[in-house]
Structure 1
Amino acid sequence: MSNQASPANHILHADIGKTLRHMTVPVLAGMLTLMTFNLVDTFFISMLGTTPLAAISFTFPVTFTVISLAIGLSIGTSAVIAKALGAGDSKEAQADALGALWLATYLVLALSLLGMALINPMFRLLGAGTDTLLYIHDYMLIWFAGAVLLVTPMVGNAVLRASGDTKTPSIIMASGGVMNAILDPIFIFGLGPVPAMGMQGAAVASVLSWTLGCGLIIWLLFKRGLLIGAWQPLAICLPIYRKILRIGMPAAGANMLTPLAMAILTAIMATHGAAAVAAFGVGARLESIASLVVLALSMTLPPFISQNFGANQLQRVQQAYQQTTFFIIRWQFAVYLLLAALAWPIAGLFTDDPEVARFIRWFLWIVPLAYGLQGITILTNSSFNALHLPAKALWLSLIRLFVFYVPLAFAGGKLFGVIGVFAGCVIANIFTAAIAYNWFTRVSLFKLKETV
């Protein structure tokens, strides 16, 4: 892994702002491409009608549960590999990489099989009606069947990012997104010998794009010598599993709390009708684009923090955290102004239903106002995990979602309807961001004093 030494030294010694920009821009480009094509996916499904659009909105909390497990494992993988590289132990990092890939495969396969068996009761619990459930069933059976192909590139990309390479994972993400956008209309509406498959076609397009990403990442990891083979003895892999799970499971749990909260919010929206659910689903996907810089930094800040943590350079950790949080407040406010100004054309792009469009506009006028504060919480979570403090990240997620987010959204919905739900989300992000920033500042100061 000598070819990774230069990025590692750059992370440990170069200017913090320039280093984070250098790491984040490629991630930003890859995520922008991927998320844009995910919105294209929602756009094509919206052309099938309001019921299919509501159906895909119902699937979001469930699919994000599987994705959250993969994100958690990726966080654990990145943290242990980056710390090993920061301490100069490349052989340990190689062994950890292979163990992480197999661990992710086992866990996601088990979760997918459980999900396939529980599709009907699970979505009925979320409030899906019989007509919507038919579309959900068509989509989710295929999605679950291919979920392992989604997770492998995510964990493999975490290995590359931990070593300082953020450009290659971005190319892989973008390639999958482009392929999905090309295949979506072909399989949804049909072309030539390919029959129109509707919702099933959207799932097939996704699985085929994941297959491309999976093949690319495995090939690259072997080519670069980041994997030491295809298998490990049990005596070697079990300690690796424990090490990754010590960070990965709390991180996965924290990430899984988000779709759980989203499921509750979706159920709250369902009490206001299918139009509210459809609008909330569109808003959730637009949020991914609006929070793109936050999400990119949440991938690049942790390897920076973990490598400097491994090298016992905690002042650089503090400085990096403060610089990114201050930047994200300014950036997300500019994003809010743009979304608020474009609310009418954005709503018209996704639906012809006036009620759905009205709710989408209100979402854009209210919820993005607090995306900068939400970004502070997300980056604090990532930073806690990077310092190998996953329990604190988990507690922060619990506080955000179940002390503030869900209760305030529920209360707002009862008092003011759908608009009240949106306002409750904003107030929740204000309280949580204040707690997150103060908590991480105290913890990092304490760790710095321990090293002096």
Structure 2
Amino acid sequence: MANAAAISRASRTRLMLEAPIAPTLAKLAAPNVLAMFVQAAQSIAEAYFASLLGVTALAGLALVFPLVMLTQMLSAGAIGGAISASVARALGAGDVGRAATLTLAAWIIAIGLAVTMAVLVALFGTSFFMMLGGGEETVAAATTYALVFFPGCVAIWLCNASLSVIRGTGNMQIPALLLLMVSVISIPLSGGFALGWGPLPALGMAGLPLGVILAFCIGAIFAIGYIALGRTGLSFQGTIGRIAPDMFSDILSVGTLAAINTVLTTVTIIMMTGLVGRYGEGALAGYGLGARLEFLMIPVIFGIGAAMTAMVGANIGAGRTDRALLVAWTGSLAAAGIVGSIGLLLAIFPDLWLGMFLAPSNTAALDAGRSYFRIVAPFYAFFGLGLAFYFASQGAGRMLWPVISSLSRMVIALFGALLLTTHTGMGIDGIFTAIGCAMLVYGLIIAIAIQRGGWRKRQL
């Protein structure tokens, strides 16, 4: 079995190095996109269950949600992508032993970061929730959720780290199937533990994260077992003796910059939300719906991006930089085309989305939402382009330009919004104009940098 798995793994690596780029990317990306959409459904279901517990529970979930999303984006995207890229580069260079040792390093990193997050939330979580403006009962609900989720988030980190290793070997189907399983299991478990379905106890707010954590525990066991049993074609004999500091730096040198990129993106959204909030509840609701759709574009880009991370990593490891660049441009332009098409559609017909959530009487929210889509949505293509290049850059181990582009986006969005709202009569439209311009700069900076040889020069 181990020999057959090794042959299969070598075949997948060869395909990433030699097969036609566009069909191979499409084949690798499709299962990831499906899995990400199901995960989005799981997030929506959790919010629905919270609403059944009451407004306080729903508000508490809103307070803790940024930290929960940060955990998911770091473990699956930033650090997870760095793990996948490191494994792919090792396999592309023909060093199977290093790929196996990197897997062990990835598990150690995942455990360490999960424990760090749990400790930080235990120490400062309540203060953070209060800083966001939550009342006493709302903060208590958020804290209840956090004190279950974060001690158990080691399961999320281990599951996503393991799935990233499997993706690094060129296998996208198994991670997608396991994520589908986790999402499908977590929905009834979260609802059951929160609301007391059947024999399950009604734990209220604590039940929501418990269902998620238990589902990821199951996913982690399956993913780790799949790797440990040699199904990826990696042999772990002697890996403990081979582990060295450079294994950790290989992952963290890329993962740390990717994590900074993730944090900058999150901070940008938080700042814009605060600025829009000055224009009233209706404006905030309209912008919130626009921003939510923007976030829902990420699963599409991640599906393509995860495939690019593995393909680019394998080709960089094999010394085939030109092919890696072609992979990056093919996938990034596809992501920009898909996301950009959705943006243009909603710029013309914004009520296709807004009408699902707002009644005609919600005029303030509708006006703000329509303004957002009219001004911002045409720039979605540049958002898709930049984010796709971010995933490709993980595969190349070149993360300086993605961080520069994200920092530029944050600065332009913030100062542009302040300038336009203070010195012109644009009002909320000034904020949306700044957001759109920031997306434009975000996509162009990283695309131009890569085109002008950013991957051929050694970066951080």
72-81 or 46-55: bigger deviation: 46-55
Question: What corresponds to 1:383 in structure 2?
Answer: 392
Task: After TM superposition, give the deviation of residue 89 of structure 1 in Å.
Answer: 0.9
2:383 to 374, 378, 381: 374
Opposite residue 7 of structure 1, the aligned amino acid is: R
1:204 aligns with 210
Preserved CA contact (<8 Å) 1:99 1:232: no
Partner of 2:114: 108
The aligned residue for residue 239 of structure 1 is: 246
* Residue type of the alignment partner of 1:151: W
Deviations 1:176-200 (A, max 9, x none): 1111222233233322343444432
Taking the aligned partners of 1:164 and 1:3, their CA distance within structure 2 comes to 10
Cα deviation 1:386-423 (Å, max 9, x = unaligned): 2221223222222222x223333455666656565444
Equivalent residue, structure 2, for 1:39: 44
Aligned residue identity for 1:139: Y
CA contact (8 A) 2:32 2:302 kept: no
Residues 97 and 235 of structure 2 are in contact (CA less than 8 Å); yes or no, is this contact kept in structure 1? no
Structure 2: 5+ residue runs without aligned partners?
A: 1-5
Q: Which of these residues, 324, 342, 349, is aligned with residue 331 of structure 2?
A: 324
Residue deviations 1:94-147 (CA, integer Å, cap 9, x gap): 111111111111122112211121112212223333343232222222111211
Unaligned regions of 5+ residues in structure 1, if any? none
Question: Do residues 407 (structure 1) and 412 (structure 2) align?
Answer: no
Whole-Å Cα distance in 1 between the matches of residues 419 and 64 of structure 2?
Answer: 24
Letter in 1 for 2:443: A
Point out the more displaced range, 331-340 or 165-174.
Answer: 331-340
Q: Which moved more, 1:47-56 or 1:434-443?
A: 47-56
Q: 2:20 aligns with which of 8, 11, 15?
A: 15
Letter paired with 2:85: A
Corresponding residue for residue 184 of structure 2: 178
| Structure 1 residues 442 and 255: CA distance shift in structure 2, 3 A | same
For 1:219-368, what aligned pairs fall within 5 Å after superposition? 219-223=225-229, 224=231, 226=234, 228=236, 232-233=240-241, 236-269=243-276, 271=278, 283-336=290-343, 340-348=350-358, 367-368=376-377
User: How do 1:420-439 and structure 2 match up within 5 A?
Assistant: 420-439=430-449
Classify the secondary structure of the residue corresponding to 1:118: helix
* Aligned AA (1:242): S
The TM-score with structure 2 as length reference comes to 0.86
User: CA RMSD of the aligned region, Å?
Assistant: 3.1
Q: How many residues align?
A: 445
Q: 1:62 aligns to what? A: 67
Distance in 1 of aligned mates of 2:384 and 2:134: 31
Moved more, 310-319 or 95-104: 310-319
For residues 30-58 of structure 1, give each alpha carbon's deviation from its aligned partner in whole angstroms, at most 9, with x where no partner exists.
Answer: 11212222222223334445554443333
Question: 2:401 matched to which residue of 1?
Answer: 392
1:330 Cα shift?
2.5
Name whichever of 125-134 and 386-395 sits farther off.
Answer: 125-134
Separation (CA, whole Å) in 1 of partners of 2:208 and 2:37: 20
Deviation at 1:305, TM superposition (A): 0.8
Q: Write the deviation string for residues 263-292 of structure 1: whole angstroms up to 9, x where unpaired.
A: 333444555566666666655544343333
For residues 195 and 358 of structure 1, the distance between their equivalents in structure 2, rounded to whole angstroms, comes to 44
User: Percent same amino acid at aligned positions?
Assistant: 25
CA distance in 2, matches of 1:61, 1:373: 24
Cα deviation per residue 1:337-360 (whole Å; 9 max; x = unaligned)?
5553422442159xx988767766
- C-alpha change, 1:446 and 1:222, in structure 2 (3 Å) is closer
With 201-210 and 155-164 compared, the bigger mean Cα shift is at 201-210
SS at match of 2:69: helix
Contact 1:73 1:244 in 2 (8 A): yes
Distance change >3 Å, CA 169–CA 417, structure 1 → 2: farther
Residue 4 of structure 1: how far off its partner (Å): 0.2
Residues of 1 paired with 2:442 and 2:400: CA distance?
16
Task: Kindly indicate whether the alpha-carbon contact (under 8 Å) linking 1:41 and 1:184 is maintained by their aligned counterparts in 2.
Answer: yes
* Matching residue of 2:94: 88
Partners of 2:382 and 2:439 in 1: how far apart? 6
TM-score by length of structure 1 reads: 0.88
CA drift of 1:229 comes to 6.6
Change (3 A) 1:274 1:63: farther
Once the two structures are TM-superposed, the CA of residue 363 in structure 1 deviates from its matched residue by: 5.2
| Inter-CA distance 34–67: structure 2 relative to 1 (3 Å threshold) | closer
Q: Does 1:148 align with 2:118?
A: no
- Structure 2 CA distance, aligned partners of 1:200 and 1:418? 38
Query: Relative to structure 1, is the Cα distance of residues 200 and 420 closer, same or farther in structure 2, using a 3 angstrom cutoff?
Result: farther
Provide the C-alpha distance between the structure 1 equivalents of 2:141 and 2:173, rounded to a whole number of angstroms: 37
**CA distance in 1 between partners of 2:215 and 2:326 (Å):** 38
